[in-house]
Chains A and B, each alone.
Chain A
Amino acid sequence: MELSTLHYLVVAAALFVIGTIGVLTRRNVVIILMSIELILNAVNLNLVAFSRLYNGLQGQIFSIFIITDAAAEAAVGLGILIAFFRNKETVNVDEIDLLKF
């Protein structure tokens, strides 16, 4: 059986949906950030698969930019988490409601 691009797209879609479920249902901020990494990886897989399909390198180069973005996002997000944990002693998103009145 020949592997087509659609196979990779289906795997990427499954990873994207799993990451979305993680973001929407978990309470722990660390695991929400990991789910965001899952979503970004699903997008990367899509880009590399299309790069292979159209026989160019643009998709691979763009996926490297996305990896850069993911690193920046993880650094800032975890920094915010540490700063918040120092003040409130919690990592649950539904207890982070200072802006709610």
Chain B
Amino acid sequence: MTLAACFITAASTAVPAAPLMAPVATAFFFYLLSVMAIGSALLVITCRNAVHSALALITTLLALAGLYLMLYAPFVAGVQIVVYAGGIMVLFLFVIMLVNLERAMKEEQFSKQWLAGVAAALCLGGVFAEVYRKGESLFPGTPLRLAEGQNTQQIGIGLYVNYMLPFEIASLLMLVAILGAVIMAKKRI
């Protein structure tokens, strides 16, 4: 069989199954991405060098993009990679380079009330655990499979038709943020 014939048969077999996507969400990928996300999140808050923290945060964001793909949200995954890992993290790295962190690296990294902070956060985690343990039966445990296609198209319709006003408010927020950042970064405030 020639290569072209191969393609043709592959295409003809692939087309009829279009409406239902095959489930790609396997438990292995979920655990791999979760361990990546949580492990590099731990690195973010423990690294001494801010640049290393930023790189670990990029790893977390990419792992979360993978999790969004497993949840059949390809548009959010793309936005996550482009806007977060591409835009916001570049901003962070830019500021890290601009601000002299040599002195901050040699100093104590954790504040004096770190024990109280960790205790408070762990209490919050306990609340989460208790809520999820008690409320597990509240939301149906539907298996996560088989989404419809055209995710991007439907999000676009949602953003520009049903959620028009929030979208415009978000654009106004961006304008205000740009102006605020420019004012803040001026020579004399």
Complex alpha-carbon distance, A14 and B33, angstroms: 13
A75 touches B132 (CB 8 A): no
B64 touches A83 (CB 8 A): no
Instruction: Please classify how large the interface on chain B is, using the bins under 10, 10 to 19, 20 to 34, 35 or more.
Output: 35 or more
**Closest residue of B by beta carbon distance from A61:** B158
Known: A75-B177, A78-B92. A31 touches B125 (CB 8 A): no
B71 touches A8 (CB 8 A): yes
Complex alpha-carbon distance, A73 and B122, angstroms: 26
Residues from 138 to 189 in B contacting A, C-beta threshold 8 Å: 139-144, 147, 151, 154-155, 158-159, 163, 166, 170, 173-174, 176-178, 180-185, 189
Interface string of A13-38 (1 = CB under 8 A from B): 11111111110111110110111011
Instruction: Please list the residues of chain B having a beta carbon within 8 angstroms of any beta carbon in chain A.
Output: 25, 27, 30, 34, 37-38, 41-42, 44-45, 47, 50, 53-54, 57, 60-61, 64, 67-68, 70-73, 75-76, 79-80, 83-84, 87-88, 91-92, 95-96, 98-101, 103-104, 107-114, 116-118, 120-122, 124-125, 128-129, 132, 136, 139-144, 147, 151, 154-155, 158-159, 163, 166, 170, 173-174, 176-178, 180-185, 189
21 of the cross-chain contacts (CB-CB < 8 Å) are A3-B143, A13-B129, A15-B41, A17-B122, A21-B117, A25-B111, A27-B107, A28-B104, A30-B92, A30-B95, A37-B57, A38-B44, A45-B67, A52-B144, A61-B158, A64-B79, A78-B92, A79-B184, A80-B184, A82-B95, A83-B185
